[in-house]
Amino acid sequence: MFRLAVFASGKGSNLRAIDEAIRARRLVGVEIALVVSNNSSSGALVYARSRGIAAMHITATAQAAEMLDTLREYSIDLIVLAGYLRKIPVQVVDAFEGRMINIHPALLPDFGGEGMYGINVHRAVLAAKRPTTGATVHYVSHEYDSGAIIAQSTCSVEVGDTPESLSQKVLRVEHELYPRAIATVVERLQRESE
Ligand code: GRF
């Protein structure tokens, strides 16, 4: 079994989508071994506890060594960032090179980078009058939203869309995309370890 650690700060709807994909056997050979959040009242931690998944709150000042110890303790193979709003320490990024992925609510390389998170992204897409938007899953590198792209999925921007309506549309795209992208990465890692 491939062991995932899902890092999330907010609602945790992607965490739920991944867990549901595993339970429905649309995503096989993996388990969510740990959920980590910097927000003690996040929906992600509440969901993890309700499902009996190990749930850990880490403080904003959590040190890299502490994080790495925890990841080792839980034998984590892949870190899945799902709306995690804190910067991951460089040492952790290095230790998990090629084994840490993120989902971004736009079609990278556009609308990424510092400050491009949450509703800001959808506002920027509308301001740029793009006919389509979507979501991107990518490897995590040292710079925000700039690691190699694993998978993208699109949806259309329609007249009357607001940042809020786009955010809902893109989330639906994310929920379908993230489990598929995880499967792609796990297959790659398994091939490489053979
Ligand atoms: C998603 O839009 C994701 O793209 C971004 O943060 C949001 C997390 O939403 N990185 P949720 O907590 O999974 O509902």
How many other C-beta atoms are found inside a 10 Å radius of the C-beta of residue 50?
Answer: 9
Q: What is the pLDDT of residue 171?
A: 98
CA distance linking residue 139 with residue 88, whole number of Å = 13
Give the integer Cα–Cα distance in Å for 7 and 5.
6
Four-CA torsion 145, 146, 149, 153, nearest 10 degrees: 40
Q: Which of 57, 104, 122, 138 is catalytic?
A: 104
pLDDT of 118 reads 93
- The question of whether 104 is a catalytic residue gets the answer yes
Q: What is the pTM of this model?
A: 0.96
Predicted confidence (pLDDT) at residue 111 exceeds the cutoff of 80: yes
Instruction: Give residues with Cβ within 8 angstroms of 121, minimum separation 6.
Output: 104, 105, 106, 111
The predicted-structure confidence for 15-49, as pLDDT tens digits, reads as follows: 999 999 999 999 999 999 999 999 999 999 999 99
Rounded to the nearest whole angstrom, what is the distance from the C-alpha of residue 163 to the centroid of ligand 1?
A: 14
| pLDDT number for residue 126 | 98
Test site for ligand 1: of 45, 170, 171, 176, most ligand atoms within 8 A of the Cβ: 171
- pLDDT-based confidence at residue 57 (cuts at 50, 70, 90): very high
